Structure 1
Amino acid sequence: MTESPPPDRTPLTVADVLRLPVLAAGQPTVVCGHDRLSRAVRWVHVTELTDPASFLKGGELVLTTGMPLPTEPALIRSYVDELAQVGAAGLVIELVRRYRQPPDALVRACRSHDLPLVVLTREVNFVDVTQTVHALILGSQVESLRRTQQVHEAFTSLTLRGASPDELVRAAAEMSGHPVVLENLIHQAILHDTAGRPLTDVLGGWERRSRATSSPQRTDVCGPESWLVTPVEYQGERWGRLVMVPDSTSPPTFGADQVMVLERAAMALSIARLVHGRPWERAAHRTALLDIVERRYRSAPEARARLDALGVPTHGRQLVIVLVTVAEGMGELEKTVVQELRDAGARALVAEISGTRVGVLLALPATRTWRPVVERVAKAVRHRHPAAVVSVGGEVDDLTEVARSFQDAVRVGEAAVPGERAYVERSDIGLRELLHALRNEVQLQDYVERCLGRLIEHDDRHGGDLLATLHAYLDAAGNKTLAARRRSISRQALYERLHTIERLLDRDLESGWDRSELHVALTALGVQRLSAGTPSGEPAGRPAVRRPTTTDT
């Protein structure tokens, strides 16, 4: 966490100086240049010279009694021209000794340059004015230097310890007191910190608002909402920009402090981009997806605003969770999924959510079906990972229901038999898939052992094929002629083997109940062996049965 920032030290302006008691005692009146009173005052200069501009550097508030002013209008005009040309902040003239009202030529000249002209109707000690103003300016400069050092040290410390991009954006928001948003070139809000403001206020309609705000070459206030914007580069190429959002309830103003914080944050982010190689868009998608499926959001409107700002609109869309699961070796799985979805023109959150799984939140228009999109992704994935499982949750139309779609996809994925279908949805889950999901359960393993164990042992000892014979018989629904043909044996040989099976298992193969139990056991054995890597068509020796452990009890 960063320290709370001290109050922002904005430059002293002409208006600020006029409000000081030492000058207010002279009852100042602004004759012209009212709209330029926000000019910064770098110094106060008292002069009775007719050519004071030669001693000025710009930003000075000039104080004079008016005694040396020339009488000729042309010379007065030349006097003001020089002040304007050098960049004086304003001219204050005391109407006590020489004038009772400012000369018309002086007023016209100041008005033509929009130079603030202030008259004092009471005598003021100019030395007191300069001492007061200079003390304020010098104090502000010292504080500004101290503040600059604090900001520099804070971001240097964050950079040296390898702070994440999220931390850098959070630090910028805390130091400035304003929301800060990092976006890419296509106006997607990758990272943000709202500085305590409602997320919907900061990110609502982000892309539209962002596109209405121009991108300056250097830090500047831009757009209809007066955002403070600075470019962010990576290896010399601009890839995004950092935005500071003003408070909408007050006039948008940013001081030197906010500019400094935003620029230092942008520099730190550029360095972090070199250190953290993984694209930040992917990290943003991962965080958003996990927050949605785990319901880590304050409200549905905030969640929608966040996804909209990432370029994934959800209002009025059909939402579907898709999970791509591989046994090992993710490789560029996430990249493959992202590319296929992009080529299909589908909006989606895509993120690697575990070491073996990529999650997708599809957000498609209500008129577009998700199946062709998922099939395209599945084919590309299966081309590189033949045993990958692509599971699909139930379709929902509300962001608050996405967590349910995710749980559906997880259960479907756990039940799916690898390598059989391009993708699997709930309607594909039958008995075989259910048994596959339960394949590691002790109760199911024990059931298979009790039903078929003696048969498997007999085949192991004698090199027989009774298990395959039973499989053919049950698949033929008890049709012995069909079963014998499938096993390429005579009916008499089949009868003998079936009799041996009944004796070994103590079962009646004419019983529908016994057939059902044995069929379930054979199906369970098949999915267990498939998971172990044994070809399902060639049953191998009996698989090891997992024994109960202390965690099971």
Structure 2
Amino acid sequence: MSENRQPGPSGRAPTVADVLALPVVAGGDPRVVAGEEHVDRPVRWVHVTELTDPASFLKGGELVLTTGMPLPDDPAGVRRYIDELAGVGAAALVIELVRRYHRPPDALVQACRARGLPLVTLASDVNFLEVTQVVHTLILGHQAEAMRRTQRVHEAFTALTLRGAGPEEVLRAAAEMSARTVVLENLVHRALVCEPSGSVERAALTDWERRSRTTPATDRAGVSGPEGWLAAPVEYQGERWGRVVMLPAAHPGRAFGPEDVTVLERTAMALTIARLTHPTPWERTAHRNALRELVEQRHRSPADARARLTALGVPADDTLFVAVLADLPSAEDAAAAEVRLCEESAPQGPRVLAGLLSPTRLGVLLALRPTRPWREAVQRVSRTALDAAPGATVSAGAPAGDLADVARSFREAARVAEAADPGLPLPSGRSFHERSDIGLRRLLFALRDDTRLQDFAERQLGPLLDHDARHGTDLVTTLRGYLDAAGNKTVAARSSGLSRETVYQRLRTIERLLGRDLESGEQRTELHVALHAVDALRALPPAGRRPGRDR
């Protein structure tokens, strides 16, 4: 009987079409003469009958086999016979054209077509007992395999729960098990987590809120809405937090089955436990993940990024984007600033996306109307961060007119943060740093860890610094005053409180130690840059913060 093993794809019950492909049935030359569009119906059992009222013995899903002997002679009786089979949900009717009929009666064909019941004729004898044995073996094998798969689903979700998995990991597992796209949304129809399977985020999330609102909520896992979503509520003791949705397969003909329902129910349960055990709200985690994807450009395409952001409720069209980074003294300060910023931005609607990018770095994406002054919005963010932690350093990138340029704006904000020398004051009325603040001193401060800058400063000023260290002199200060005076020795002497002769003597000593000509404008410039480099190398950011190191 090995040639009659499972004919269809593993993982699903055999269908009418699968049964007809079995050698034990194919030998009878089966022909589908009505209801061809429904041969994908699953076969739950096989029932051999010669009764005039077989429907009373059926429960639905049976493949009914008959020689045709009990069929009524009159068309009305035939219609009643088929109506009863269709009413109880029989999978198909198979009639053998050997004993009573050599072609199917027209009334039988018409009745089956009217009720959408597949009618299959067999041109030669088929051993009905053997068909029953083979198909039942397949069905029982499928049921056993389905039980094993269900057990694996339960074990997988139990392991996720015990491991303390968050919503992203839970949905990723659900998408892998079901080979379908799975989405978690909150009560206001914001798509917080999307795990696509076989499709891109753009296809799954485009126009999400409208599509979601046309899909009615259900009290338990079930299919609803115009697109046929399989959805289940995520709730605990009557308090509902959102729902998890499994989208239909991209290709038609693959309906949701019991295993999909099991996966979704276990997903909802795991999400409930994750919500109870994880203190961070889903929305905040979703914002963090969305920001990191934008900063690191982990989207497959700009269209995917746009769909992801829009599904979170952040406008992506006709919008000016500004990237802001707040570096905080400690992880506790960063977490407090994140909470405070999220609370204060809530009344403005979904035009602020905020989240931790690292333990001490808070990222903020402002989605502003093009006519709105962006510096005022950044200033408000900066004041909020400074109120939460006075030691914060806030930096902004240049505005981006398109979502594709947001990563560039964040990179620029990071460069500004690296150049934010704490020793230099900000312009009056502004509490954040921006690109225009980066002059020579800030640029050198940003490059302070570069060994090439360190080597340059040492080659230019090393002998002079060594001399001051050995002899307790302060020739570096004299050199600084001279260079700040643009090479004017009289101004340098006056500003230092020294006589001109003393300054002249010290400058000659400096020239000798460095082997430089202080009358050369180019060499004075090199020495002046080296002095600023030494200042940058000696400067340290505030305790606990190293701009750019936590990214």
TM above 0.5: yes
The answer as to whether partners of 2:351 and 2:367 remain within 8 angstroms in 1 is yes
Conserved? CA contact 2:91–2:118, under 8 Å:
yes
Distance between the aligned counterparts of 2:241 and 2:415, measured in 1? 38
Give the 3 Å change call, closer, same or farther, for CA 154–208 of structure 1 in structure 2: same
SS of 1:41's partner is coil
For 1:140, the equivalent position in structure 2 comes to: 142
Structure 2 partner of 1:394: 398
Cα separation, 2, equivalents of 1:136 and 1:425: 70
Give the letter aligned to residue 372 of structure 2.
R
* 1:141 Cα deviation from its structure 2 partner: 0.8
Q: Take 2:443 and 2:138, find their aligned partners in 1: how far apart are those partners?
A: 80
The answer for unaligned runs of 5 or more in structure 2 is: 1-7, 473-493, 505-527, 544-551
Q: Distance in 2 between matches of 1:118 and 1:435?
A: 82
Residues 262 and 98 of structure 1, relative CA distance in 2, 3 Å threshold:
same
Name the SS of the counterpart of 1:257 in structure 2.
helix
Q: Which amino acid aligns with 1:267?
A: M
**Residue in 1 aligned with 2:357?**
353
Match of 2:153 among 151, 154, 171: 151
The 1:8/1:100 distance shift into structure 2, 3 A limit, reads closer
Report the secondary structure of 1:182's partner residue.
strand
Q: Does 1:130 align with 2:137?
A: no
**Whole-Å separation in 1 of the counterparts to 2:426 and 2:143:** 69
User: Compared with structure 1, are the counterparts of its residues 430 and 44 closer, same or farther at alpha carbon in structure 2 (3 Å cutoff)?
Assistant: closer
Kindly report which structure 2 residues correspond to 1:31-430, keeping only aligned pairs within 5 A, or say none: 31-71=33-73, 75-103=77-105, 106-107=108-109, 109-195=111-197, 197-203=199-205, 206-207=208-209, 210=212, 213-221=215-223, 226-248=228-250, 251-297=253-299, 299-314=301-316, 316-328=318-330, 329-330=332-333, 332-345=336-349, 347-386=351-390, 388-397=392-401, 398-411=405-418, 413-415=420-422, 421=429, 423-426=431-434, 429=437
Q: Which moved more, 1:413-422 or 1:61-70?
A: 413-422
Q: Is the 8 A contact 2:412 2:435 kept in 1?
A: no
Contact 2:393 2:417 (C-alpha < 8 Å) held by counterparts: no
Q: Is the 8 A contact 1:417 1:433 kept in 2?
A: no
Letter in 1 for 2:406: L
Partner Cα separation in structure 1 for residue 30 and residue 392 of structure 2: 81
Structure 1 counterpart of 2:165, one-letter code: A
Match of 2:509 in 1: none
Question: Deviation per CA, 1:234-270, whole angstroms, max 9, x where unpaired?
Answer: 5543333333345535655444433332332222222
Q: Which residue of 2 aligns with 1:489?
A: none
CA distance in 2, matches of 1:131, 1:17: 12
Structure 2 CA distance for aligned equivalents of residues 298 and 43 of structure 1: 46
Report sequence identity in percent: 51
Which piece of structure 1 moves more, 345-354 or 72-81? 72-81
Matched residue of 1:248: which SS? coil
After superposition, the C-alpha distances for 1:438-481 in whole angstroms (9 at most, x for unaligned) are 9x99999x99xx9xxx9xxxxxxxxxxxxxxxxxxxxxxxxxxx
Question: Structure 1's 14 and 529: CA in aligned 2 closer, same or farther, altered over 3 A?
Answer: closer
1:336 alignment partner AA: R
Separation (CA, whole Å) in 2 of partners of 1:529 and 1:149: 58
Q: Distance in 1 between matches of 2:271 and 2:167?
A: 6
**What SS is found at the alignment partner of 1:67?**
coil
Contact 1:323–1:413 (CA under 8 A) maintained in structure 2: no
SS where residue 340 of structure 1 aligns?
A: helix
Residue 432 of structure 1, CA deviation: 13
Q: CA deviation at 1:43?
A: 0.7
Give TM-score scaled by structure 1 length. Answer: 0.70
- Unaligned runs of at least 5 residues, structure 1: 1-5, 455-497, 509-516, 533-553
Distance 1:161 1:103 in 2: 63
TM-fit CA distance, 1:73: 5.1
Does the aligned pair in 1 maintain the 2:319–2:370 contact within 8 Å? Answer: yes
SS of corresponding position for 1:283: helix
Are the structure 2 counterparts of residues 200 and 107 from structure 1 closer, same or farther at C-alpha, using a change threshold of 3 Å? closer
Distance 1:176 1:374 in 2: 44
Cα distance, 1:194–1:80 mapped onto 2, change above 3 Å? closer
Which runs of structure 2 are paired with 1:517-528 in the superposition (5 Å)? Answer: none
Tell me the secondary structure at the aligned position of residue 339 of structure 1: helix
**How many corresponding residue pairs?**
474
C-alpha distance in structure 1 between counterparts of 2:355 and 2:339, whole Å: 9
State the distance in 1 between where 2:11 and 2:297 align: 42
**Structure 2 vs 1, CA of residues 436 and 31 (structure 1 numbering), >3 Å: closer, same or farther?**
closer
**Shift in Å, 1:85:** 3.7
What is the SS of the residue equivalent to 2:135? helix
Taking the aligned partners of 2:9 and 2:111, their CA distance within structure 1 comes to 38
Report how far residue 323 of structure 1 moved.
2.6
Q: State the 1:360 CA deviation.
A: 0.2
